[in-house]
Amino acid sequence: MSSKIEKWLETNTFHHGEFWDIRKLVEMKEAQGLKISLCIPTLNEEKTIGKEIVIFRSELMERYPLIDEFAVIDSGSEDKTLEVAASFGADVYSAADILPEVGDKRGKGENLWKAIYQLKGDIIVYVDADIKNIHPRFVTGIVAPLIYNETIKYCKAFYDRPMAYSSGIRSSGGGRVTEILIRPLFSLFFPELSSLIQPLSGEFAVRREVLERIPFPIGYGVETAHILDVYKEWGLEAFAQCDLDQRIHRNQTTTALGKMSFGILQTFINRLKRYGMVDRLPEMATLYRQFQAEGNRYEQLTREIVEYERPPMITIPAYRKKYGIKD
Amino acid sequence: MFKSIDQIIEAIPTHRENLQPLREILLANALMIGEIPAPTYSEVERITFLSNRFTEDGLQNISIDEAGNGMAIVPGTKGENNILVCAHADTVFNQKVDHAMSVGPDSIQGPGISDNSLGLAAIVTLPEILKRLNLQFEDNLILMGCSRSLGHGDLGGIRFFLENNKLPIRAGICVEGVQLGRLSYASIGMLRGEINVNVPTEYDWTKFGASGSVVLLTKVVQRIMEIPIASEPKTRILFGSINAGTSFGTQPTSANLRFEIRSEQVGMVSNLKQEIEDIIDEIANASDTELELSVIAQRAPAGLAYGHPMVRTMRQIINALDIKPHVEPSVGELSGLINKGIPSVTLGLTKGKYKNEFKESIEIQPIFDGLSQLVALLQSIDGGFCDEQ
């Protein structure tokens, strides 16, 4: 398994710098007759949405026609998100107005799901609206692997989050929820998926043929469900991931991350049930997989973690003798 | 080719309208430039961005020179002469400052957006602007992002360019983000200096009383403030920053004062410098400490006449925008150009607030007035309407 993961890391993990030539990307896209849609799901993002729209429209629609269609899909913002988005010419939709016959649920997953109906692209690129250091690479980096390789169906972004490192090698991991919840769960039950460095990142590009065939939890579990379902149906080969360097966004409180983890855990256990794994859990893996980066090369760090258990002290004869415990 | 200045001015409203579709491209350039930190002497990443943009637009002679200036040429139909359009690339903010810009429906906020990310953005967007307006000039345009402009940089970029450039330059335009209506056609006499106080380690505190470097520097400031300065021609001494000491109860042994003298009167800056040197010598001798004046930058006053055709044209253009021209002298790139005998002006592109503060902001809509003003001036220079007869 390790060699499969290593091979996948070698062939399906990219750095956005590999795709700097947007002109070439556009040529490849046009040669394949692909249409690409960009969706930004929003809920009260007035501070960052304007910049995202300006930069994506300028760089990826007007300067280089990589994106054919661009929509903001909102969950009911109460601030000026919609006003700002519209003022820069974005197509703005309320999630509630799309497919009204199926009703309206509140959550980011709802916006992502309804985008499949609303947008026409063969590939849909999702980018969160809370990115402070927005740049065209947030789209080019995740859509390029799908343009260049037709076997790739789902590409995730990951980011460098260095706190500090003194040598050339640095640890490269996800956010807190990924490292504390998702990576241990994947390592235990779906070890190949532990090769995704940031499975929860909100930036990903997916082919329509995949999006239209997977269910969408509407809350915190949407990214986790996607990864599990796509993996189950199409395998690790369908995935790619791209390093987009740094992403600056607002930090969430530990309490908020607790809520997120609770939602994700529900989704995860639902998936175990759906896959028939609850009653026949696989042999638990004891290899824990993390990552380190050297330059643009990523490698796994595997650690054998065996949770050996000691029996209750009272069962130890020496203990019983010392304290005069009789049978 | 326009036959008169009136025709150029009549075209301004049409240009302003036709430039609206370029809003996202211009703003994206300003945002991406603004989010690259560029303190003086560390402009390389910004200049590289400019250079890449010039390459994408198919410009000629794209280069980054030894001083770190980034430039390119938009070739003219005749190309016998050159018009320099420049903007300084450095900012007053250091690398650690959060350079994230935020965009509202009517404004952009972020450190350095007006000084001078917007100015640079106008320069890199100019080829696209000319394409959209279907304009081609007889003269070449030299587009340049200047390095090492502010503070200790002392206009190092433009000075290097002017000392080493071989191309004939007909006129220069310095582009600043704010304020729309600004018209600078003269450089003011200026001296930027630092006064350093160092109390020797063997200093006998009992002999000279309990004075540390803070007290000594304060005396210097008081004495400078006592120098009589006439209200006309305008002269000003600005104390910009002061640094001294380490804590509440420790005798400070060093102190540093940064100041700037500006004067419209020839010779006044030199006279004031001499007076400050005398004050420093006197206080140093009386206190047995080391006081030193270092000159960081100095410029002589010079400029175009108010009636120079380029200044007159600019006034007409600004008036056509229904804005009152705001005449102010410059200590920026303009002074380098004027001292080389190149007729030049500095203009501003939009309205803005809080220049050089973290909450610096610009208004979006007036930018189109600012850009059409820049285009009209280029047309006027290219058409020969700004040449002295």
Q: Give the pLDDT score at A315.
A: 94
Tell me the pLDDT tens digit for each residue of B170-185: 999 999 999 999 999 9
Tell me the pLDDT tens digit for each residue of B41-81: 999 999 999 999 999 999 999 999 999 999 999 999 999 99
Q: Give the pLDDT score at A296.
A: 65
Rounded to two decimals, the ipTM of the complex is: 0.78
Percent of chain B with pLDDT over 90: 80
Tell me the pLDDT tens digit for each residue of B234-264: 899 999 999 998 888 788 889 999 999 999 8
Q: Which residues of B touch A251 (CB under 8 A)?
A: none
- Identify the CATH class of A2-322: alpha beta
Return the C-alpha torsion angle A197, A200, A201, A204, nearest 10: 100
Q: Do A54 and B28 touch (CB under 8 A)?
A: yes
Q: Which residues of B touch A80 (CB under 8 A)?
A: 104-105
Per-residue pLDDT tens, chain A, 327 aa: give them.
Answer: 678 888 998 999 999 999 999 999 999 999 999 999 999 999 999 989 999 999 999 999 999 999 999 999 999 999 999 999 999 988 999 999 999 999 999 888 999 999 999 999 999 999 999 888 899 999 999 999 999 999 999 999 998 654 334 445 445 556 788 889 999 999 889 999 999 999 999 899 999 999 999 999 998 899 999 999 999 999 999 999 999 987 777 677 889 899 999 999 999 999 999 999 888 877 777 888 777 766 667 777 888 888 888 999 999 999 999 999 987
- Domains annotated on chain B, with CATH: 5-187+301-382 (3.40.630.10), 196-296 (3.30.70)
Tell me the pLDDT tens digit for each residue of B312-349: 999 999 999 999 999 988 889 999 999 999 999 999 99
Contact map slice: B 16-55 vs A, CB within 8 A? 24-25, 27-29, 31-32, 35
Q: Which of A182, A281, A289, A284 is nearest to A228 (CA)?
A: A182
Closest residue in A to B108 (Cα) is A51
Contact map slice: B 187-246 vs A, CB within 8 A? none
Q: Helix, strand or coil for residue A92?
A: strand
Query: DSSP of B82-104, one letter per residue?
Result: EEEEEEE--BSS-TTS----EE-
Question: Distance (Å) from the C-alpha of residue B29 to the closest C-alpha of chain A?
Answer: 8
Question: Distance (Å) from the C-alpha of residue A46 to the closest C-alpha of chain B?
Answer: 8
Sequence-distant contacts of B33-37: CB under 8 A, at least 24 apart: B33/B117, B33/B120, B33/B121, B33/B124, B34/B99, B34/B101, B34/B108, B34/B110, B34/B111, B34/B112, B34/B113, B34/B117, B35/A133, B35/B99, B35/B100, B35/B101, B35/B110, B36/B99, B37/B91, B37/B93, B37/B94, B37/B95, B37/B97, B37/B99
For chain B, give the longest Cα–Cα distance: 80
The full set of domain ranges for chain A reads: 2-322
Task: Decide if pLDDT at B126 tops 90.
Answer: yes
CA distances to A155, A193, A242, B371 from B121, in Å: 33, 44, 29, 11
Six-digit token pair at A227? 């990864």
Rg (CA), chain B: 23
Sequence-ordered alpha helix ranges (H) in B226-332: 268-287, 309-320
Is residue B105 within 8 A of residue A82, CB to CB? The reply is no
Q: Do A62 and B35 touch (CB under 8 A)?
A: no
Q: Helix, strand or coil for residue A260?
A: helix
Task: Decide if pLDDT at B22 tops 50.
Answer: yes
Q: Give the pLDDT score at B59.
A: 95
CA distances to A113, A192, A275, B214 from A213, in Å: 11, 22, 16, 73
Q: Give the pLDDT score at A166.
A: 44
Name the residue among B56, B102, B106 with its Cβ closest to that of A51.
B102
Q: Which residues of A touch B103 (CB under 8 A)?
A: 50-51, 54, 84, 88
Q: Which of B264, B342, B259 is nearest to B297 (CA)?
A: B259
Residues of A at the B interface, defined by Cβ within 8 angstroms: 46-48, 50-51, 53-55, 57-59, 62-63, 80, 83-84, 87-89, 132-133, 135, 248
Q: Which residues of A touch B31 (CB under 8 A)?
A: 51, 54-55
Q: What is the mean pLDDT of chain B?
A: 93
Return the C-alpha torsion angle A48, A53, A58, A64, nearest 10: 120
Question: Distance (Å) from the C-alpha of residue A165 to the closest C-alpha of chain B?
Answer: 17
CA distance A124 to A140: 12
Q: Which residues contact B60 (CB under 8 A, 6 or more apart)?
A: B72, B73, B74, B75
Answer whether B95 touches A (CB < 8 Å): no
Question: Distance (Å) from the C-alpha of residue B172 to the closest C-alpha of chain A?
Answer: 29
Bond before B29 cis per omega within 30 degrees? no
Sequence-distant contacts of B63-67: CB under 8 A, at least 24 apart: B65/B160, B65/B161, B65/B164, B66/B160, B67/B147, B67/B148, B67/B156, B67/B157, B67/B160, B67/B161
Is residue B56 within 8 A of residue B143, CB to CB? The reply is no
Mutate to test the interface with A, among B19, B24, B48, B55 (most CBs of A within 10 A): B24
Name the residue among A53, A89, A133 with its Cβ closest to that of B100.
A133
Q: Do A248 and B101 touch (CB under 8 A)?
A: no
Q: Do B24 and A84 touch (CB under 8 A)?
A: no
Name the residue among B24, B100, B106 with its Cβ closest to that of A58.
B24
Q: Give the pLDDT score at B245.
A: 87
Q: Give the pLDDT score at B203.
A: 65
Q: Which of B14, B2, B1, B19 is nearest to B350 (CA)?
A: B19
Q: Do A51 and B103 touch (CB under 8 A)?
A: yes
φ, ψ of residue A131 to 5 degrees: the values are -85, 120
Stretch among A223-232, A298-307, B19-28, B271-280 having the lowest mean pLDDT: A298-307
Name the residue among B28, B56, B102 with its Cβ closest to that of A58.
B28
φ, ψ of residue B292 to 5 degrees: the values are -140, 135
Q: Give the pLDDT score at B37.
A: 96
Q: Helix, strand or coil for residue A224?
A: helix
Q: Mean per-residue pLDDT for B2-11?
A: 90
